[in-house]
Structure 1
Amino acid sequence: MISIVTPVYNEEGNVVYFHDEVTKVMKELAMDYEIIYVNDGSRDRTDELIHQLADRDPHVRALTFARNFGHQIAITCGMDFAKGDAVITMDGDMQHPPALIPKLIEKWQEGYDIVQTIRTATEDAGFLKKITSSGYYAVINSISTTRVVPGGSDFRLMDRKALNTFLKFREHSRFIRGIVGGLGFRQTSIEFEAPARHAGVSKFSMKKMIHFAMDGIITNSTIPLRISFYIGLLSAFAGFLLILHVLYCVITGQAVPGWATMTILISIFGSLNLMCLGILGEYIGHVFEETRNRPLYWLSDDSAAHEDNPYYKTHSNGNPR
């Protein structure tokens, strides 16, 4: 069985067309399937339309958030409720082509646990967006221990055992591409060119994209905190050199009265402040890692997780809700 998880937000112009296209593809595959729509607090007719689809199509499940929680949370919600042996996540604006679904399933049947799509280009993407996107991936991969594939999208297939592991990651600030990239398992990718939206405009405003980018950096690396400590050390070294210069000026009689004292004090306390902030940053980084409450480990063979495991006694199916 295949579960297709689709978050929707103000997609009244797309959702019915998207549903028809996905249904055509799944009927040709002759596989059991379900389509889970997660309404992320839409303010148009999206909620009404997905419930109409659920009423007339037994393959459809419609979930509605009480308010807008965000794209990444909506994807996670759909995964929580998915029953399939494999789960495909994709957006409902037709920029994730349903025609690629058979290729994803084919790779899964070859034995891959995660099949990631790589967006090589987007028809309606501007020059600025392309440049900022490539720059962002370069930055995040330079500071993160988990590689995030440039052009990677949230259009992917995950086998049930990989999904069960993913669902143990319950942090609120979510960057799913980073989490999936660090899961391991057998992964492969498929490249595609994203078409223009079928209808409407992108719901990712500049503000949302910046927040999403920051979540990706903060949830994947504590290096920005560590950088503050290194800056403190460099400042301390620069302060020491400045103090030597000040003493030289005093000895040679070039210093204005009071200038040497103030300069030395500022150098000492400024360096100490930056070093202390860096040390505090290290502790905050460790606290941050612990409060995410990620699993200490996971097994590549999900069948090895049985009732003798205390984690699975606490969570009956291995998936904390």
Structure 2
Amino acid sequence: MKKVSIVVPVFNEEKNLVHFTQAVHEVMTKTSYAFELIFVDDGSSDDSSKILEELSVQYEQVKPIFLSHNYGHQIALTCGLDHAKGDAVITMDGDMQHPPALLPVLLGKWEEGYEVVQTIREATEGVSFFKKLTSKYYYRFLNMMSETKVYPGGSDFRLLDRKACDALCRYREHDRFIRGMVGTLGFKQTILPFTAPERFAGESKFSVKKMSKLAMDGILGYSVVPLRLSFYLGSVFALFSILLLGHVIWEFLHGNVVTGWTTIMVCVVLFSGVQLMILGIMGEYIGRIFKEVKNRPLYLTREEREKTAGQGE
């Protein structure tokens, strides 16, 4: 019998866990697959960890993993993928916006021979116009900047064949954008459109700050175009400065040096701003290099932390 691993990152989802587990269990027990439900608790501060421990007693398929602190959604997903043992691995969120009813459909696509089945949100119920608009144009901008195609509306609700999962687990960079990483794998892929319902309970933990970081990881992690644009922009302004030099000489020869003060001030401010912008872009890339060369582990589980602390006593 083929086995399916379902990986679910969790951060303060105490109101959703029981309902989600029941829904997944009901769907999967009607299929012909054995399955494991891997919850990765990403340092929750509510009762999520306690509920997961109770669910692991109630359901033999539930296997909770507790991270030592909050590492972020993408690292929690990575931890779950590292521990998944199934012939197919499905990643999804536990707030019911990734409908468990679609699990058999994903598995059906897998049985057809697809090694990656990527879901695409055609719409999300209850989402603001601003979020829809920014998401739409972000993916357009990302695909324009990067050589790796990311489907607009793509989510972390997907199926990976065992081979694809093993390949993805070899990617160990710290600033992770798994949607882009999956696109670089090169396995046989198809898409599955769906409409995401509203959350079952609670509020989204994906703040503007977290969304901004994920967006930045997607752009800087898969493209050097910002560095090239910096070079092109610097070249344009270097040419402009040569033209400005001609203007300065003209003003000097005609004795109008004082009248050029406004032009000089504007140019100083403009060029200083451009230089700081370019330095900022370079700093982002250098900061990411700094993280990688330290070669620290992507995450520590609670058990690993306690074991390490015990050895130090």
Bucket of the pairwise TM-score, normalised by the shorter protein: 0.7 to 0.9
Partners of 2:59 and 2:164 in 1: how far apart? 28
Q: Shift in Å at residue 56 of structure 1?
A: 2.3
Query: Deviation digits for residues 119-145 of structure 1, max 9, x if unmatched?
Result: 011101011111111121111111111
Conserved 8 A contact 2:17-2:52: yes
Q: SS in structure 2 opposite 1:29? A: coil
1:93 alignment partner AA: D
| Change in CA separation of 1:57 and 1:142 when aligned onto 2, cut-off 3 Å | same
Q: Which residue in 1 is equivalent to 2:240? A: 238
Conserved 8 A contact 1:236-1:272: no
Q: Shift in Å at residue 30 of structure 1?
A: 2.2
Query: Deviation digits for residues 231-281 of structure 1, max 9, x if unmatched?
Result: 110111000111112223333x14327969x96xx88xx979978996997
Q: Which residue in 1 is equivalent to 2:164? A: 162
Q: SS in structure 1 opposite 2:134? A: helix
- Given the alignment of the two structures, is residue 114 of structure 1 paired with residue 116 of structure 2, yes or no? yes
Conserved 8 A contact 2:174-2:291: no
1:172-187 equivalences under 5 Å are 172-187=174-189
Q: Which residue in 2 is equivalent to 1:256? A: 257
Query: Greater relative contact order: 1 or 2 (C-alpha under 8 angstroms, separation 6 or more)?
Result: 2
Q: SS in structure 2 opposite 1:236? A: helix
Q: Which residue in 2 is equivalent to 1:199? A: 201
Query: Deviation digits for residues 84-140 of structure 1, max 9, x if unmatched?
Result: 011000000000000100111111111111000000111010111111111211111
Q: Shift in Å at residue 287 of structure 1?
A: 9.8
Partners of 1:243 and 1:169 in 2: how far apart? 50
Partners of 2:279 and 2:11 in 1: how far apart? 42
Q: Which deviates more, 206-215 or 20-29?
A: 206-215
Partners of 1:200 and 1:84 in 2: how far apart? 30
The number of residues matched between the two structures is 288
1:47 alignment partner AA: S
Please identify runs of 4+ aligned residues in structure 1 that moved more than 4 A. Answer: 257-260, 270-293
Unaligned runs of 5+ in 1: 294-321
Q: Shift in Å at residue 13 of structure 1?
A: 0.9
Q: Which residue in 2 is equivalent to 1:136? A: 138
- Superposed CA RMSD in Å reads 2.9
Q: Shift in Å at residue 81 of structure 1?
A: 0.3
Q: Which residue in 2 is equivalent to 1:12? A: 14
Partners of 1:50 and 1:283 in 2: how far apart? 41
Identity of aligned residues (%): 48
| Change in CA separation of 1:290 and 1:28 when aligned onto 2, cut-off 3 Å | same
Partners of 1:291 and 1:223 in 2: how far apart? 21
Q: SS in structure 2 opposite 1:28? A: coil
Q: Which residue in 1 is equivalent to 2:306? A: none
| Change in CA separation of 1:72 and 1:259 when aligned onto 2, cut-off 3 Å | same
| Change in CA separation of 1:206 and 1:243 when aligned onto 2, cut-off 3 Å | same
1:263-302 equivalences under 5 Å are none
| Change in CA separation of 1:150 and 1:232 when aligned onto 2, cut-off 3 Å | same
